[in-house]
Copies of this chain bind each other. A is one copy, B any other.
Amino acid sequence: MKKIGFIGCGTMGKPMALNLIKAGYALTVRDLNPQPVEELVAAGATAAHSPREVAEKSEVVITMLTSSPHVEQVMFGPDGVLEGLKKGSVIIDMSTIDPLVTRKVAAAAAEKGLKMLDAPVTGLQAKATDGTLTIMVGGDKELFEQYKDILQVMGEKIYHVGDVSMGEVVKLTNNLMGVIAGIGACEGLLFGIKLGADPKVLHEVITHGGGNSFFLERLAPYPGLVPSAPVNNDFTPGFTTDLMAKDIGLILSAAEANKVPLLVCSLVRQLIEVSQARGYGKKDWTIVSKIINELGGAEA
């Protein structure tokens, strides 16, 4: 079995790494925070002191980091991954970052004779723990097939979606469509209910109609409509407002670099920012429904 390095052992990364250990892989791990590293070592992993050391001890390095600059630092920084990996080795970046940064990393890796897949995930900590994430993978198709077994330890649905960076693009597009449909559902619920409709009837009829969306079906932020929706659990995430803000930020930045105006996305971004300004950053992002409702004069 391949020797795997794993960098970034946070909320998502730690349970993903644990699943790899359980599946029998030899793992070398690294995180600036010592606590999850200790837990992983207790479970059988080896700790390393730098990304370079992780790379030196591995054939595959998986990264699960919080932002583009973190990925650049870990890859290109002093004692970085690119200094340590042997020719022919593989980087699998599972972080959600700017696809243009992904391309930059892939290009630098290629120059050193390294290969790369980008493989961002959807699904939250629970799915990371259960190994049932959805993973969208960009990169060479053959390379993907070769490393699919590793990804299958962490995810349930694994899609190959095109060349390197397309994992990021598809994931961000998914979020772009989801957040706009979601805000639309919030405005619709506000409108319908203010005009007197029964929320349950409204929901039931529209989920069978042209206004339906994943958001309406699974996340509808009105109490009692969807038992598992965050609204019924004090907006415990789920996917936080801060993470949604980060993802839309990546979308708008990549869009800007490609001269793709996105008028509605841009307005939606501001509404998410209002939600952050209201102090809802750590809550599930569907709490933006409160902002939409408050604009109409409702109690917070």
Q: Which residues of A come within 8 Å of B, CB atoms? A: 99, 122, 134, 136, 157, 159, 161-163, 165-166, 169-170, 172-181, 183-185, 187-192, 194-198, 201-202, 205-206, 208-216, 249, 251, 254-256, 258-271, 273-274, 276-279, 295-297
Contact = CB atoms under 8 A, between A and B. Distances in A.
Q: Pick the most buried of A192, A198, A277: most chain B CB atoms within 10 A of its CB.
A: A192
A198 B254 contact: no
Contacts of A210: 122, 174-175, 178, 214-215
Q: How many copies does the complex hold?
A: 4
Contacts of A269: 266
Contacts of A184: 176-177, 179-181, 184, 264-265
Contact of A271 (B181, B216, B256, B263): B263
Given A264-B268, A268-B264, A169 B181 contact: no
A169 B196 contact: yes
Contacts of A179: 184
A198 B216 CA distance: 27
A99 B196 CA distance: 10
A274 to B, nearest CB: 5
A276 to B, nearest CB: 6
Contact of A209 (B194, B198, B214, B266): B214
Contact of A176 (B170, B187, B214, B249): B187
A26 B172 CA distance: 53
B276 A270 contact: no
Nearest to A215: B210
21 contacts: A161-B202, A162-B197, A170-B206, A172-B191, A174-B209, A175-B210, A176-B187, A176-B211, A177-B187, A177-B211, A178-B211, A180-B185, A180-B264, A183-B264, A184-B264, A191-B254, A191-B255, A209-B214, A213-B213, A249-B256, A264-B264
A256 B268 contact: no
A273 B258 contact: no
B162 A198 contact: yes
Contacts of A99: 195
Contacts of A195: 99, 165, 169, 173, 254, 258, 260
Given A191-B176, A197-B173, A212-B214, A270 B277 contact: no
Given A170-B206, A173-B206, A277-B296, A165 B211 contact: no
